[in-house]
Amino acid sequence: MCGIFFSLCRQEHVLPDSGTEQLLKNRGPDSLGIQQRLLFTRYGEHETDAAPLYATFVSTVLALRGAQVTEQPLVDEKSGSMLCWNGEAWRLREDTVPGNDSQVVFQVLLEACKAAALMSSASAIDQIVSVLSSIRGPYAFVFYDATSHHLFFGRDCLGRRSLLKKRTSNSDLIISSVCDNATGEDWAEIEADGIYVLEVTARSRKHPLSIIHIPHRRSKDETGRPSFVGKFFFTESMLT
Amino acid sequence: MNRTVPSKLLPYYSEAESAPKLGEALRESLELRVQHVREAKLSANVPSGAHEPRVAILFSGGLDCTILARLTHELLPLEQSVDLLNVAFENPRIHSKLGAGESPYELCPDRITGRSSHTELRAVCPNRTWRFVEINVPYTQTLAHRTRVMTLMHPHNTEMDLSISYALYFASKGNGSVTDANSASISYESPAHVLLSGLGADELFGGYQRHAVAFSRQGYPGLIEELELDFSRLGKRNLGRDDRVISDSGKEVRFPYLDEDFIALALRLPVASKCDFGLPQAVESASPVDYVELLEPGKRVLRALAWELGLKRVAMEKKRAIQFGSRTAKMETGKTKGTHVLS
């Protein structure tokens, strides 16, 4: 098992409080990694926004697969993309994943980002969602695609791994596998009902974050949109 | 979901006929989940690594988890032992009038069933070391960990959440005792980092009382509707809670019955190939009947699988919820409802 914490804030970097950090370490006693980034966004076509958003990625790891401990968060230095992965991808795009899965998932996600870089913003989302929908196995994750400035998070369609979201008054985004609620803070489960996507733009700094929900499909999809996560077990032939 | 209702015109496979196919799919699911566990940490450091258990089973002794144990046996090297984590609680509401020398733990339904299924597993797979880990939780311990368990299960907050979480929390810590070759009890902490849970089997194969009720009221269409409802909310509500509570031990719970391909197969099977409530359980009598008819209809396909795997007593086992089997339900007062929100 592993632990995930992520925050995206306007004023400063926000780390887990000490109680929550300890609970995350209990889940992943083999390693603890912290990555902090300032996310600058494009203002207009040519202008860069002067004030950044403060992104904090924390991962703890319990090494169950592979010959070495794979530390997290996984970072692609070239693009700045990052992954916190708490899961077991038993299969990915019909292939069995031998050994450690977090590296494999990260590489496939990065390739999808690269392929999407030449396309529209909507196709970037489609590419990533298509990778996630091909995963068989439990997971909760946070992935930042630095190329398209999209942040993805969510849980597998059965909710086999935990992911919580803190209710904040200023609409900062705070996510964690587990929380120390000693101070009576208000956390809610992120529903295992799809993948959540947030485009980090200059607007995100001043306005409430607008998060897109891409639903898992448990039954035939009325809209007919293809490539949604979870479609795997519920093809038409199984449902009729 | 397959909505085919049995009829004379459309032949279908009985539970006994579909059991081998289901067993094969479950074996495939388990193969992914029990092999190559923690090789980065174990092979380097532990000279006796080959014998050390890497997989433990959350073991009430019931049908679902005992099938997992039996199939895991086929997938792991023989020298690797497997831990069966069996948890029992002292419940002041129930255990207040014990006789002298009576153990509250040995009276727990799951302890009794657990021991009997352990015995059957040993008889069927004699070359495997099965460690039956007795995890006994005195009421003082339960109280001492109450705040911690409440923190972990948050934002879940009901009486029933707490009852279930207590059982999972102490079971996954794996601190208990085992009986050695000389029948002496020695303290033991399970080192296995992967825990298997039988969750999902009741929802997929009609194991709850309400499935029987739905059939008796509305026949096959009612039963199918109930199973569809189960499927639509499978997991979702409680798996996050269970993950938080169990992972605190630095262990990972895996759900072989919730494998995507296994679920797909379970959905494809017509209802009469899973749990044919239209074929009632036969009473044992002098006249010989097909063994399948001796099994109760709920989860009959899994019962047939257990029977075929040599677990004949387990095949007859009744369903019991974890909080009642381990006696964590209603420890503080017998009067509250499970949905009561805790403060």
At B93 the pLDDT is: 85
Residues 163-222 of B with CB under 8 A from A: 193-194
Is A199 or A179 the better-scoring residue by pLDDT? A179
A222 vs A176, higher pLDDT = A176
A22-78 per-position pLDDT tens digit: 999 999 999 999 999 998 766 555 555 567 889 999 999 998 988 888 999 999 999
Any residues with CB less than 8 A from the CB of A124 and at least 6 apart, and which? A113, A116, A117, A145, A147, A148, A150
DSSP state letter for B121: H
Q: What is the pLDDT of residues B145-166, one digit of tens each?
A: 999 999 999 999 999 999 999 9
Q: pLDDT at position B46, please?
A: 58
Tens digit of each residue's pLDDT (9 = 90 or more) over B101-110: 889 999 999 9
Q: Do A27 and B247 make contact, defined as CB atoms within 8 angstroms?
A: yes
- Is the pLDDT at B14 greater than 50, yes or no? yes
Cβ contact B152–A64 (<8 Å): no
Position B254 confidence tier, pLDDT thresholds 50, 70, 90: very high
Chain B residues inside the 8 Å CB shell of A94: none
Q: In the β-sheet with B130-137, what is the strand arrangement from edge to edge?
A: B185-189, B175-179, B130-137, B82-89, B55-58, B194-196, B252-254
Taking the CA of residue A58 and the nearest CA in chain B, the distance in Å comes to 17
Q: What is the pLDDT of residue A224?
A: 38
Chain A residues whose CB is inside 8 A of the B33 CB are 88, 90
Q: Check if B44 contacts A (Cβ < 8 Å).
A: no
The answer on pLDDT for B217 being more than 50 is yes
- Tell whether the model's pLDDT for residue A231 goes beyond 50: no
Checking if the pLDDT of B4 tops 80, the result is yes
Asked if B232's CB is within 8 angstroms of A233's CB, the reply is: no
Q: Give strand pairing partners of B84.
A: B57, B132
The ipTM estimated for the assembled molecules is 0.90
Split at pLDDT 50, 70, 90, the class of A225 is very low
According to DSSP, the residues that pair with B134 across neighbouring strands are B86, B177
Chain B hits for A180, CB-CB cut-off 8 Å, are 151
Chain A partners of B40 at a C-beta cutoff of 8 Å? 63, 65-69
Q: Is B42 on the interface with A (CB under 8 A)?
A: no
Residue in A63, A158, A179 closest to B41 by CB:
A63
pLDDT at B285: 62
Nearest-Cα residue of chain B relative to residue A190:
B240
Q: Which CATH number fits domain B15-200+235-259+318-325: 3.40.50.620, 1.10.3720.10, 3.30.2130.30, 2.60.40.10?
A: 3.40.50.620
* pLDDT of amino acid B110: 95
Per-residue pLDDT tens digits for B39-77: 887 765 556 677 899 999 999 999 999 999 999 999 999
B233 touches chain A (CB under 8 A): no
Distance from CA of A108 to the nearest CA of B (A): 21
Cβ of B154 within 8 Å of Cβ of A161? The answer is: no
**Beta-sheet strand order (sheet of A2-9):** A31-39, A53-61, A2-9, A173-176, A164-166, A187-189
Q: Specify the pLDDT at position B11.
A: 62
Query: Is there a contact between A179 and A20 (Cβ–Cβ < 8 Å)?
Result: yes
Q: What is the pLDDT of residue B280?
A: 83
CA nearest to B4 within chain A: A240
pLDDT at A66: 85
Q: Is B106 on the interface with A (CB under 8 A)?
A: no
pLDDT, tens only, B195-209: 999 999 999 999 999
Over 50: is that where the pLDDT of A217 sits? Answer: yes
Which residues from B are below 8 Å from A68, CB to CB?
Answer: 40
Q: Do residue B243 and residue A67 have CB atoms under 8 angstroms apart?
A: no
Which of these, B305, B334, B341, lies nearest to B19 by C-alpha position? B305
* pLDDT tens sequence across A117-176: 877 777 788 889 989 989 999 999 999 999 888 999 999 989 999 999 998 888 799 999
What number is the average pLDDT over the span B268-274? 92
DSSP bridge pairs for A84: A142
B72 touches B289 (CB < 8 A): no
Instruction: Give me the pLDDT at residue A230, please.
Output: 42
Inspect the interface and report whether the beta carbons of B235 and A68 lie closer than 8 Å: no
pLDDT of residue A48: 59
Give which of B261, B314, B297 is closest to B121, Cα–Cα.
Answer: B314
Distance from CA of A64 to the nearest CA of B (A): 4
| Domain A2-239 falls under CATH 3.40.50.2000 | no
Domain residue ranges of chain A, discontinuous segments joined by +: 2-239
Q: What is the mean pLDDT of chain B?
A: 90
Residue of B nearest to A217 (CA): B232
CB contact under 8 A, B260 and A232: yes
Q: How many angstroms separate the CA of residue B128 from the nearest CA in chain A?
A: 23
pLDDT tens by residue, A78-125? 999 999 999 999 999 888 998 889 999 999 999 999 888 877 777 788
CA distances from B97 to B91, B102, B199, B286, B332 (A): 11, 10, 34, 42, 16
B227 and A CB contact within 8 Å: no
Contact criterion met (CB below 8 Å) for B75 and B34: yes
For residue B284, what pLDDT band results from cuts at 50, 70 and 90? low
pLDDT tens by residue, B310-325 = 999 999 887 777 787 8
Compare A225 and A220 and report the one with higher pLDDT. Answer: A220
pLDDT of residue A91: 92
Q: Does B236 touch chain A (CB under 8 A)?
A: yes
pLDDT value, residue A87 = 93
Q: What are phi and psi of B50, to 5 degrees?
A: -65, -30
> Where do the structural domains in chain B lie, given as residue ranges?
15-200+235-259+318-325
Evaluated on CA atoms B183, B187, B192, B198, the torsion sign reads: positive
Contact A177 B261 (CB under 8 A): no
Highest mean pLDDT among A188-197, B87-96, B136-145, B334-343: B136-145
Query: How far is the alpha carbon of B263 from chain A, nearest alpha carbon, in Å?
Result: 7
Output the pLDDT for position A228.
33
Chain B residues in contact with A155 by the CB 8 A cut-off are 240
Whole-prediction pTM value?
Answer: 0.91
pLDDT at A47: 58
